[in-house]
Amino acid sequence: MARIDQVEALFHEARSLPNGEDRLVWLEARCQGDAELMEEVASLLQANASLRNAAAVPPAASIAVPTAKFGAYRAVELLGRGGMSTVYRAERADGQFEQTVALKIMAAHLGGPEFLRRFEIERQLLATLSHNNITRLLDGGVSSAGDPYLITEYVEGQSLDRYSDSRKLDVDARLSLFLQVLEAVDYAHRNLIVHRDLKPGNILVNTEGTVKLLDFGTASLIARPSDITLTRVRMLTPRYASPEQLKGERLNIATDIYSLGVVLYELLCGGWPFGDPNSVLSELNRATGDVVPTPPATVLTEEAASSRSASYQNLRGLLNGDLSTILLKMLENEPTRRYGSVRQVADDIERYRDGRPILARPQTAWYATRKFVARHWLAVSTACAAVLALTGLTIFSLHEAAQAREQAARAQRVSDFAKNTFLSASSTWTSPLRGQSRAIQFNDILDNAAERVPRELANDPAAEADLLGTLGSTYAILGNPVKGEALIRQALEVLRRAGAGSSRKAADLDAGLCNACSFQGHYTEALAACREAMALARVYGSDLSVGTIINNTAFMAAKSGAPLEEAEKLFREAAANGPTQPEQAKLWPAINNTRIGALRLRQGDLTEGERLLGESERILRAEPGPPIEILPTLDALALGARIRGNYIEAMRRLQEALDLLSQRPTAYMGSGGQLEIELAADEALAGRPQALSRLKKVSAQVRADSTAPTDQVRFHLLSGIVEANGGSHDSAERHLRAALETSEKELPRQPADRVEIYLRLAKLLAVSHREQESYDVARQGLRCAESSYGKFFAQHPFVAQLRSIMHAH
Amino acid sequence: MPPDVPVEREITRLLHRWKEGDREALASLASLAYEDLHAIAIGYLRREVAGHTLQATGLVNELYLRLAQVRGVQLTNRRHFYTFAAQLMRMILIDHARQTRALKRPGSGVRVPLHEEMAWIDASSDEMLALDVALDQLEALEERKVRVIELRFFLGCTNEETAQLLDVSRATIDRDLEFAKTWLYRRLSAPPPSAG
């Protein structure tokens, strides 16, 4: 054993001896004749005794009251010191009349011009505040000694916590005081002033029980975002500071709400929500959001209960319910998760006191979810990408099928996690999301990720663009394509700024942008993005195969009104450039043949169209499931059946598609309504009575899904069919004429689609006994069919029907 | 005030090097942290900091956060960081005492105790220089005790935190502190003719 260790061991041992025992005798025995050792330990023990006396001396220094003149006032007695100022009780020096005031002398040397500016702001701020619960500013200026000072109303009182404890106030009385605090802070906020240093020491209660808020010393103007103060010399009180404050971030009213949360927490249960309040290291954990407040009931002690005139059990019970919910909502790490205003906090507390249900929801589920996302946000984003892949497929094409399915399974797990969290929670409370779609719940998770990306990946544009793009695509699919589009455009901008505007990554982003635009029905923009993606992918390659992008481009071309032949040519090109991986390549012909088949049908070529669709169906049905990619095939087959007049078969096809969709609800978003309205049309044509109610059920949704001309034309045509067969001739005519007009005006290069509109309108006019008009429309229809069906004109069922209408005349 | 971009970048670079084992980088980091720590040390010596006890930890947290928010830098060795900051704080206070003496500034007449538990050391005077020497001597005997003193009295950590940072039990820290304080007190109140 080293000498020093020996000495130390004996030192500690000797100190732990019971009083009365002679340490020197004990020591001598232990040192076994080692006089030097004994001498060393003895001298340390002696030093230790005098050290204890030295330490017992209080760190002295009462500071003399300054003798300078502060306007009409002079300092009388030191009241307290803060990081930035010293406060005195003061009196009028001119003896004109007796008035006791508080004098706050600012520590001028802390600052220089910046400080003086802040001081000036404080003066102006305080001067604008006039509220019964806020100390009034009486005067201010620079003293004869050169120190800036403020004179405020003098409050004879105790700090909020001492006042409450010394009177053993119960919870209700404490809440009542706290509501006064809230009123004052709310008033300040409405005047665009954030306190930023709310703590019990700044909240006094006077002898009449009126709360007086002190010290807007660190207040800032909410309206001035430029006024961010990084703490060179810390001015805040970490114990009551919000995470964003600890991080030195921009502050707003949410910061005060957090600090008020800590104040209320202590006021109600007597403990601090984050463990040991003296631990400055825990500050860091709080700043990084790693710390979750302890539920108030669990920090309650017998002593704290008794100083609240309550039994431990009772108070514990009280603190377990709504109060805990209110507190934890105030103490959310993320400012946006807190109450939106101090008024809302006050309202909830009043609701609680009145025994009405509060509006805040227990946060446990949120914590769990957010913690989960925080830990796994990358995985969540990746999983979201998988959702994208899956839906992208159903609308356009299949790519990377195997991988997509595996990722989709992961997405499902993540989504299930979120769902379960909410569902389990909603058994005891009303979920704020109840009644809304699952997609929106998922969006909350995305919001968290979207917020983190720019912050955490700012130095890595590639990664930032990647994740912004992924999130954007995911938003787009989960029902918020507007936000999705914005995020993807942001991602592209990040790439451009980093000089990577022409790259493989940009190609992928453009492909994602294409989706986001198309979900809003902005097919022209979608097409532009697709073409950009295609051009880039040809040069730089892409995560998607070139064929996939061409496939998307072709789809968009058709949707945005390009000639159908042109779209068809692109689909054929896509077919030849498909993915190479066997698993993916297998379904590729089916996917493209479905599209080409549908286009052949629309151009009047029923034979080739049905052949291609039959082939696609055969390939897809050979797969287990069948795969979700069969949806567009079924849709196109139904179209073929309708043209041929086989409405029952069309209904069967569409019903199968809808059943499939209901089993896999995240995929094929927004298209369920389209399928259903088509089903309604076929039902109407088949004379089924349910057609009208089905149309009513989905029509608003379908109209909202897209305002794109192609979709509107389709909507009006199908609605017209249903209304006509339901007997509402006027309404049917309005729909059909709207379809015709939109098609002629917006989609002049896709005349083939107008043939059916002419046909349905001619039929409607015929049954309305408007023979001449019917004849004219039928003739127009024939002319249109002749020019757009070409060699398939003669055999086309629509043509036969149009002719029979004209002959009947 | 807006974040100081060049400094942030510099910090990032140094942190990467530090992470890769470059001790020099740590020294350079020290110079970047120096300004912030210096401000709080001086404020403390002027007794402007609330509570009258030196608590540089808050500022160190802030510095740390600024570093941690930089992408790619994971300060896995937080312990190292605080220990470093505590040493830096000691350096700053000693420098200040030395300068005060060199300038032969008349003292304010107000004693500023290094810490309430070390009230017999005036942080703004020659006593600090003597303490510095004593700490070096103690370090030669047992290094950890000096780290404990630095974290506890120069940075303002609690006993619990000091234990956590040095990865020893709270009881060990309590004993270390008692012994080290006694040892330093004896050395400073009656310096023996020879070191040892």
Write a three-state SS string for A433-482: CCCCCHHHHHHHHHHHHHHHHHHHCCCCHHHHHHHHHHHHHHHHHCCCHH
Q: Given CB atoms, is B4 within the 8 Å cutoff of chain A? A: no
- The whole-number pLDDT of residue A214 equals 83
Q: What is the residue-averaged pLDDT of chain A?
A: 79
Q: Is B196 exposed, middle or buried (0-12, 13-18, 19+ CB in 10 A)?
A: exposed
- The whole-number pLDDT of residue A519 equals 73
DSSP H helices, A90-217, are: 113-128, 160-166, 171-190
- The whole-number pLDDT of residue A463 equals 66
**Contact criterion met (CB below 8 Å) for B119 and A55:** yes
Cα(A199)–Cα(A225) distance, integer angstroms:
24
Q: Given CB atoms, is B5 within the 8 Å cutoff of chain A? A: no
Q: Is A543 exposed, middle or buried (0-12, 13-18, 19+ CB in 10 A)?
A: middle
Range from A204-218, A527-541, A737-751 that averages highest in pLDDT: A737-751
Reported as a pLDDT band with limits 50, 70 and 90, residue A447 is low
- The whole-number pLDDT of residue A140 equals 82
Tokens of A358: 């509060």
Count of all residues that appear for chain A in the document = 809
pLDDT in tens, A307-323: 999 999 889 888 888 89
Q: Given CB atoms, is B186 within the 8 Å cutoff of chain A? A: yes
Residue where the block lists tokens 């805990």: A324
Dihedral pair phi/psi, residue A100, rounded to 5°: -95, 130
**Contact criterion met (CB below 8 Å) for B181 and B118:** yes
Q: Is A336 exposed, middle or buried (0-12, 13-18, 19+ CB in 10 A)?
A: exposed
**Contact criterion met (CB below 8 Å) for A417 and A373:** no
Residues of A marked as catalytic: 197
- The whole-number pLDDT of residue A432 equals 30
The radius of gyration of chain B's CA atoms, rounded to the nearest angstrom, is: 17
Min Cα separation B39/chain A (Å): 6
Share of chain A above pLDDT 90, in %: 35
DSSP letter, residue B153: I
- The whole-number pLDDT of residue A597 equals 96
Residue where the block lists tokens 């083939």: A752
Find the residue in B nearest to A278 (Cα): B158
Cα(A662)–Cα(A654) distance, integer angstroms:
12
Q: Given CB atoms, is B34 within the 8 Å cutoff of chain A? A: no
- The whole-number pLDDT of residue B46 equals 65
**Who contacts A490 (Cβ-Cβ below 8 Å, separation ≥6)?**
A468, A472
Q: Choose among B3, B156, B181: nearest Cβ to A280.
A: B156
DSSP H helices, A457-545, are: 461-477, 481-497, 504-519, 523-540
- The whole-number pLDDT of residue A464 equals 72
Cα(B121)–Cα(B131) distance, integer angstroms:
8
- The whole-number pLDDT of residue A785 equals 95
Average pLDDT rounded to a whole number, residues B40-45:
68
Tokens of A371: 């913690």
Average pLDDT rounded to a whole number, residues A153-172:
92
Long-range contacts of B91-94 (CB under 8 A, 24+ apart): B92/B34, B92/B37, B92/B38, B92/B41, B93/B41, B93/B45, B93/B123, B93/B128, B93/B154, B94/B128, B94/B129, B94/B132
Reported as a pLDDT band with limits 50, 70 and 90, residue A382 is very low
Min Cα separation B79/chain A (Å): 11
Chain A residues lying within 8 Å of B43, measured CB to CB: 110, 233
Q: Is the pLDDT assigned to residue A471 strictly greater than 60?
A: yes
Beta strands in A176-302 (DSSP E): 193-194, 203-206, 211-213, 220-221
C-alpha triplet B155, B158, B164: angle, nearest 5°: 95
- The whole-number pLDDT of residue A361 equals 63
Chain A residues lying within 8 Å of B113, measured CB to CB: 59
Tell me which of A374-388, A661-675, B137-151, B159-173 is least confident. A374-388
Q: Given CB atoms, is B39 within the 8 Å cutoff of chain A? A: yes
Average pLDDT rounded to a whole number, residues A743-759:
94
- The residues in B 139-178 lying below 8 A from A, measured between CB atoms, are 141-142, 156-158, 160-161, 164-165, 175, 178
Share of chain A above pLDDT 70, in %: 76
pLDDT in tens, A216-271: 654 443 333 333 333 334 455 678 888 887 776 666 788 899 999 999 999 999 99
Q: Choose among B68, B157, B185: nearest Cβ to A280.
A: B157
Chain B residues lying within 8 Å of A81, measured CB to CB: 50
- The whole-number pLDDT of residue A50 equals 85
Range from A250-259, A646-655, B54-63 that averages highest in pLDDT: A646-655
Q: Given CB atoms, is B184 within the 8 Å cutoff of chain A? A: no
CB contact under 8 A, A281 and B57: yes
Whole-angstrom distance between the N-terminal and C-terminal Cα of chain B? 50
Strands A148-153 vs A85-92: parallel, antiparallel or unpaired: unpaired
Min Cα separation B91/chain A (Å): 19
